Amino acid sequence: MSNQIIADIFDLLAKLMEIHGENSFKVKTYSIAAFRLEKIADQVALMTPEQMSTIPNIGAAVVQKIQEILETGGLAVLQEYLEKTPPGVVEMLSIKGIGPKKIALLWKELGAESIGELEYACNENRLVALKGFGAKTQESILKSIAFIRSNQGFCLWSEAETFATQIWKKLRTVYPDNQTDYTGDYRRQMPTMSSIDFITDLSIEQLKAQLGRIPEVSFTEEATQLSVHIPNAPLVLFQLCNAEEFLLHQFYSSASPAFLEAFDNKFKVPEIIRDEAEIFTQNKLQYIPPYLRETTSILEKAATQELPMLIQPGDIKGIIHNHSTYSDGIHTLEQMANATRDKGYEYLVISDHSKTASYAGGLQVEKVMAQHEEIEKLNQKMAPFKIFKSIESDILGDGSLDYEPEVLATFDLVVASVHSNLKMTEEKAMQRLLTAIQNQYTTILGHPTGRLLLSREGYPVDYKLLIDACVAHNVVIEINAHPRRLDLDWSWLSYAMEQGAMVSIDPDAHSMDGIDLVKYGVLASQKGGLTKERNLSSMGLAEFERFLAERKK
């Protein structure tokens, strides 16, 4: 059992206890335990009770409950709370902006026992009469509920990847003489999707013979489609066709409606094709990969052979924007550096949280200086590999950065990000961001909209104004590669490149494994047509050093 699953159990226990008004000390004990278990590198499931006791803030009561989880798969006390809490109230915990105490009020004083009942109460303007609520909170809750509903049934590309790969490999191995391949949103590398789509010339019987072995799987059959329902997995859809029409069906199911309409208006699919590339070559078009088949303008570029060589995972030379145990990372600075070097990269930019981010162990000035001293020692030991001194500085409410200028000047580069007070009007958000962009110490604007895919909408921004300001002030725009962020969104990369912006694909890694998240940033950036020449983290060490030196002049 993973640390994350154990942590989630304690987190839910703490929240349910708070809903039921239990002792705040106990609530805090389990909440802190969840936080600690999320952050440690070693697998708790492999520890002895004595080893568990050495984890900070993990006492005997928590150790006992961890053992119960490992032995039984759950907690009896959690089950007790779940049995006396309506399932809909538990679901309310997914609503951003209201915590357990407010949920308790909504349940016990308003009588709302589900998200639907809460939505109705908001529409009836009933929340304004409750203590601690008002018209703005009511409006915010309605927006959060609408966001949850709009994303129900969706998953991230990264979540779909494991299932898609396993199914593809299985069917290709068992039926090597048949055709089965990806299509739909997964093949187009969409950041989120409602299903993993395949195209196949296999029969329903052949598919069920293999996929029916998956525990608790169920099927929905239609004439030309098989839906596969797997517990705790994305929906899997198979489009069925005969072998002769396979490539045609794959082409038409691997592009946006706008792209297909433009294609059909100007070009036609050949009657006989041996591979998908022939659809383009026989129309005198440069090959357009599925992830670029979104807009009509891409067809115009393909017609004039102007599609650029897009960025590839191997084009990333350095790992920018990472965290260590100095703030909320799982691994030490040296471990992060060794992992980055061992993966073949030339440099690491360590950007721990700044002092205002106390929830994430933000660095006070003394800690900054201690980290800089360690970086200098490691650089002597690890040369030619290099660690750069950076910080992820909070953008404060007025747009200023989190340290005095003399401290900011000690960093090689500064990633400026918004982490607090995310509920802003566009006017407030832009004032805050533009002030930070204009700060001479801001090198990179981190995750520009603050969104979390399928979880939290970003604050509203004027994208063109934001990008134009970054270009004017020589500020790099981050493409945060965490699959829950992918922020800046790929759809704005075309405009950014037209304006001459420099972007940076950064993993925002909080662990050694997190370094590999950079892949998802590359996949998203390919959709936007990014080239390695416009990506900061594609610079080799010498070029990156020159960039920073020029930036500081």
Kindly give the confidence (pLDDT) of every residue in the chain, 553 residues in length, as a single tens digit, with 9 standing for 90 and above.
Answer: 788 899 999 999 999 999 999 989 999 999 999 988 888 878 899 999 998 988 888 899 999 999 999 999 999 999 999 999 999 999 999 888 899 999 999 999 888 898 988 988 888 788 877 888 888 888 889 988 888 877 788 999 999 999 999 999 999 999 999 999 999 999 999 999 999 999 999 999 999 999 999 999 999 999 899 999 988 889 999 999 999 999 999 999 999 999 999 999 999 988 888 899 999 999 999 999 999 999 999 999 999 999 999 999 999 999 999 999 999 888 999 999 999 999 999 999 999 999 998 878 899 999 999 999 999 999 999 999 999 999 999 999 999 999 999 999 999 999 999 998 888 999 999 999 999 999 999 999 999 999 999 888 899 999 999 999 999 999 999 999 999 999 999 999 999 999 999 999 999 998 899 999 999 999 999 999 999 999 999 999 999 999 999 998 8
Domain-embedded: residue 173: yes
Q: What is the pLDDT of residue 502?
A: 98
Spatial contact of 96 and 454, defined as CB atoms under 8 Å apart: no
Domain-embedded: residue 249: no
Domain-embedded: residue 248: no
Q: What is the pLDDT of residue 455?
A: 82
Q: How many domains would you assign to the chain?
A: 4
The residue from 266, 281, 307 where one domain ends is: 307
Tell me: do 360 and 471 sit in the same domain.
yes
Domain-embedded: residue 86: yes
Instruction: List all residues 6 or more positions away from 60 whose beta carbon is below 8 Å from its beta carbon.
Output: 53
Give the phi and the psi of residue 255 in degrees, each rounded to 5.
-155, 160
Domain-embedded: residue 485: yes
Give the phi and the psi of residue 373 in degrees, each rounded to 5.
-65, -40
Q: Residue 193 is encoded by which pair of tokens?
A: 């999707």
Tell me: do 91 and 28 sit in the same domain.
yes
H helix or E strand, kind and range, residue 155: strand 155-156
Tell me: do 105 and 116 sit in the same domain.
yes
Tell me: do 336 and 346 sit in the same domain.
yes
The rounded distance, in Å, linking the Cα atoms of 255 and 264 is 12
Q: What is the pLDDT of residue 390?
A: 98
Tell me: do 323 and 294 sit in the same domain.
no
Q: Residue 493 is encoded by which pair of tokens?
A: 């990369």
- CA 186, 417, 421: angle at the middle one, nearest 5? 100
Tell me: do 291 and 361 sit in the same domain.
no
- Cis (ω within 30 of 0) for the bond into 488? yes
For the purposes of burial, counting CB atoms within 10 Å of the CB of 549, is it exposed (0-12), middle (13-18) or buried (19 or more)?
A: exposed
Instruction: Give the domain extent around 179.
Output: 153-237
The residue from 290, 307, 324 where one domain ends is: 307
Spatial contact of 142 and 149, defined as CB atoms under 8 Å apart: no
Tell me: do 297 and 223 sit in the same domain.
no
The rounded distance, in Å, linking the Cα atoms of 456 and 443 is 26
Q: What is the pLDDT of residue 129?
A: 77
Domain-embedded: residue 244: no
The rounded distance, in Å, linking the Cα atoms of 234 and 155 is 7
Looking at residue 335, its amino acid is Q
Q: At what angle do helices 3-19 and 100-108 cross, to 10 degrees?
A: 40
Spatial contact of 119 and 143, defined as CB atoms under 8 Å apart: no
The residue from 125, 151, 177 where one domain ends is: 151
Give the pTM.
0.85
